Amino acid sequence: MRTLLFALAAWLLALAGQAAADASLPMDKGLPVRVKAAIGYVGVSGFDENAASFKGVVDIRLRWEDLRLRRPAAEANDPPRVLRGDEALAEAKRIWVPDTTIANQVAEAAPAEIGLRIFPDGRVEMLKRVSGEFSTDYDVSRFPFGKQQLQVRLALRAETANQATLAFDQDDLDFSRPSAEARLDGWTLRFVNLAVSAEPGWYGAAHATMTASLEAVRHPGPVIASIFIPLLASLLIPLLAVWLNRVEDGAFQIETFELVNIIIGGLFAVIALNFTVNSVYEVLESGDNPINRLFALNYVTLAISLAVNVLLFRFGVVERAFGAYVQEQFYLFLVWAIPLLVFTTAASIILVALA
């Protein structure tokens, strides 16, 4: 009886040792273990520009080799074992699987659906469907004409880059794409780029990371109608304060205060528009972008118009220094020079954003 108990204990210890060995890093082909990763975008349900995040569903596919899972030669041509749901989760606890983390997922991750395919030659493929909100880099330097990257960043934090690394091949690039049903209002979804990098860990170690970036191109029409047209129209207000005056024999015919009232009204109009735009697109408040440049151009044009009214129309600085004739010619020069300078600058700002 005692012998039987010892034998049973030894068998259980052997099974435990085998299970532990199976769950360790597969080192038969050396280190680091090469894990091929791909990310497909099943759906994108919303993009919050102010928070620089988007909601969506992604499929993460990981592939690696574990020679300990090879089946006998007689089974070499058999189909792979396919496991889903609870069966896949149980098998994932028994064998080694890459412990990947979505580094840019916002809030707590939703439960992921998982599937496994284990091939007779030891190749393993794990497919995981994840839904949630993901933070992403947001570039406003060409707003609203620029492209945005909707990013998902994978990280292998359980192993260092010397133990396991992420990679991709053409098959992974083919898998990494938006699905035919993926839609995002106001945007056109294009292709997905993959990039491998590393992030620093403890004690000088590094961990492998991969970033999938879905390129999204904005439909700029609504922004042009709601922001660009009012901004360009507001440039006419200070110009009117210069154009509306007229000169006869070197003397201005309209009182300065009437034209200054137009400038003050234009100033309040630009301030109100600026407040409205920043309330809707908070991300535009900081940083260099075409909207802020056009607002700056509006303020500069208002300042120039005010200076012309005060110095030229009110105090006649040019007339006192050079005479009435020079003042008249100088005014006629400003009538076309200021608008040309202003609208050339505005066109340049827009063309640079379009380039």
Tokens standing for residue 122: 């030891």
Q: Residue 295's domain spans which residues?
A: 222-354
Residue 251 has pLDDT above 80, yes or no: no
Tokens standing for residue 340: 């040309």
Buried b (16+ CB within 10 A) or exposed e, 304-334: bbbebbeebbeeeebbeeeeeeebbebbeeb
Residue 2 located in a structural domain: no
* Count of Cβ atoms closer than 10 Å to residue 86 Cβ: 9
Of 283, 307, 284, the C-alpha closest to 295 is 284
**Residue 109, CB half-sphere, CA atoms under 13 Å: how many?**
14
* Count of Cβ atoms closer than 10 Å to residue 150 Cβ: 25
Same domain, 106 and 206: yes
Last residue within a domain, chosen from 177, 201, 219: 219
Same domain, 200 and 233: no
199-211 pLDDT, tens digit per residue, is 998 888 899 999 9
Same domain, 43 and 182: yes
Same domain, 287 and 333: yes
- Per-residue pLDDT averaged across 273-294, rounded? 90
DSSP secondary-structure letter at 227? I
Q: Is the dihedral of CA 151, 156, 161, 166 positive or negative?
A: negative
DSSP H helical segments within the chain, as ranges? 2-22, 85-94, 170-175, 221-223, 229-234, 236-243, 256-280, 290-307, 317-322, 324-354
Same domain, 213 and 234: no
Same domain, 335 and 258: yes
Of all residues in the chain, the percent with pLDDT exceeding 90 is 54
DSSP SS3 for 178: strand
CATH of the domain at 282: 1.20.58
pLDDT at 257: 83
CA dihedral 82, 84, 89, 92 (to 10 degrees): 20
**Which residues touch 66 (CB under 8 Å, ≥6 apart)?**
26, 28, 95, 96, 122, 124
Same domain, 61 and 95: yes
Tokens standing for residue 11: 């068998």
Same domain, 34 and 178: yes
| Cα Rg, the chain, nearest whole Å | 33
Last residue within a domain, chosen from 168, 199, 219: 219
Residue 34 has pLDDT above 70, yes or no: yes
Residue 266's pLDDT band (boundaries 50, 70, 90)? very high
The backbone region for 187, taken as left when phi is positive above 0, alpha when psi lies in -120 to 50, beta otherwise, is beta
pLDDT at 76: 77
47-105 pLDDT, tens digit per residue, is 888 888 999 999 999 999 999 999 888 887 888 999 998 898 899 899 999 989 899 99
DSSP SS3 for 103: coil
DSSP SS3 for 245: coil
Residue 302 has pLDDT above 80, yes or no: yes
Residue 21's pLDDT band (boundaries 50, 70, 90)? very low
Predicted TM-score (pTM) of the model is: 0.80
Number of domains in the chain: 2
* Count of Cβ atoms closer than 10 Å to residue 46 Cβ: 11
Last residue within a domain, chosen from 219, 254, 288: 219
Same domain, 136 and 230: no
Residue 21 located in a structural domain: no
Same domain, 350 and 229: yes
Q: How many helices (H) and strands (E) does the chain have?
A: 10, 13
- What DSSP element (H or E) covers 150? strand 147-156
